[in-house]
Amino acid sequence: MTGRSPRLSRLRRAVPEGRAGRPVEARGGKPRRRGTQPKVVALGGGMGLSASLAALRRITGDLTAVVTVADDGGSSGRLRDELGVLPPGDLRKALAALCGDDEWGQTWSRVIQHRFQSKGDLHEHAVGNLLIVALWEQLGDHVQALDLVGRLLGAHGRVLPMSAVPLELQALVRGHDPERPEDVDTVRGQATVALTPGEVQSVHLVPNDPPAVPEAVEAVLDADWVVLGPGSWFSSVIPHLLVPDLLDALVQTKARRVLSLNLAPQPGETEGFSPQRHLEVLGRHAPKLALDVVLADEAAVPDRDSLTDAAKGFGAAVELAPVARPDGSPRHDPELLAAAYDRIFRMHGRIGPWR
């Protein structure tokens, strides 16, 4: 594809002056130095994105998270229903993952993740959710408010919503009703899709042509590396490919793209999926998307040849590395994942003194 779409050009012009690509400020207002590290954009949501961010902040100071906004469960769902706001939960988790390892960062990480326990309306609300929503109401600007929270936390990166409107995730699921195993039903809501019985065939968003946040598009177009995944495949990873302007940016960016696979299938939405099956469904939702690298834990890939063949369909090489926690749990180890990303960036990226 040559040139950029008119919609992307308009989105670039929509980014307020001084906001696009500005340095993230550490506590005290001092901007981090740029130009010697890769610009990295990570897309996803939930714990998968948090794992990626916790790793990436160890190897670059130029990091932007683009976060899904379709959550409709828990504290986020209640705030969304009551106030009509974007669900803040995944944004909060991303900010917590970007907090530093010093006392300030870890204290604020615990504070914004803290959930009230009571018999009243505050029960299970997260402090960070309330803080983010309060700033949205005060400032009337999603991006400005999230930047302000990031400065308060001393976050090692920037957090952006993928869209400025709350979205509903819908899935076509075969066998959702066990009494009708061959029938396909529509399942509505991210929280429901994530745990649905049956086999998810495809997902879509409502509205089906949501506007992308201009700063998110700008970040993808200006990145050196874009990281997609890990995370809930249908409810956190693929939704980014369903926002037209964001998908256009992912297709047209000159950045290199790495797909980080999960350590195990997720009960419900990807139960029984092989690593290569994850790639197949990704390709069905975004057939024009090319990849450069597919990262997987070597212990989670029983059939390396099949994964290699699936990756070739995207133009990608497969990199196998130990990235799981040593305790055997299906969770990424931040240090091991950071080492894997760092090696990929150096082996497959542009030559330069990034650190």
Instruction: Convert the pLDDT of each residue in 76-97 to its tens digit.
Output: 989 999 999 999 999 999 999 9
Distance CA 258, CA 290 (A): 10
70: closest CA among 195, 216, 210?
A: 210
- pLDDT at residue 261 in the model: 98
pTM: 0.89
- pLDDT at residue 24 in the model: 40
- pLDDT at residue 352 in the model: 39
- pLDDT at residue 250 in the model: 98
Tokens of 254: 């000159």
Q: What are the distances in angstroms from CA 9 to CA 155, 208, 242?
A: 30, 21, 19
Point out which residues pair with 177 in neighbouring strands.
none
Q: Is 267 exposed, middle or buried (0-12, 13-18, 19+ CB in 10 A)?
A: exposed
Domain 38-169+198-348: give its CATH architecture.
3-Layer(aba) Sandwich (3.40)
Handedness of CA 170, 263, 339, 291 (dihedral sign): negative
- pLDDT at residue 51 in the model: 97
- pLDDT at residue 354 in the model: 37
For residue 26, the one-letter residue type is: A
- Which residue ranges make up each domain of the chain? 38-169+198-348
Distance CA 151, CA 29 (A): 8
Check residue 60 and give left, alpha or beta (phi > 0: left; psi -120 to 50: alpha): beta
Extract the residue ranges of the chain whose pLDDT is less than 70: 1-35, 350-355
Tokens of 107: 């204290």
Distance CA 112, CA 127 (A): 5
- pLDDT at residue 122 in the model: 82
- What is the per-residue pLDDT across 14-56, written as a single tens digit (0 to 9) for each? 555 444 444 344 333 333 344 578 999 999 999 999 999 999 9
Point out which residues pair with 205 in neighbouring strands.
169
Distance CA 167, CA 328 (A): 35
- pLDDT at residue 329 in the model: 86
User: How far from chain centre, in Å, is Cα 278?
Assistant: 16
Given a contact cutoff of 8 angstroms between Cβ atoms, the answer to whether 317 and 294 are in contact is yes
- pLDDT at residue 84 in the model: 94
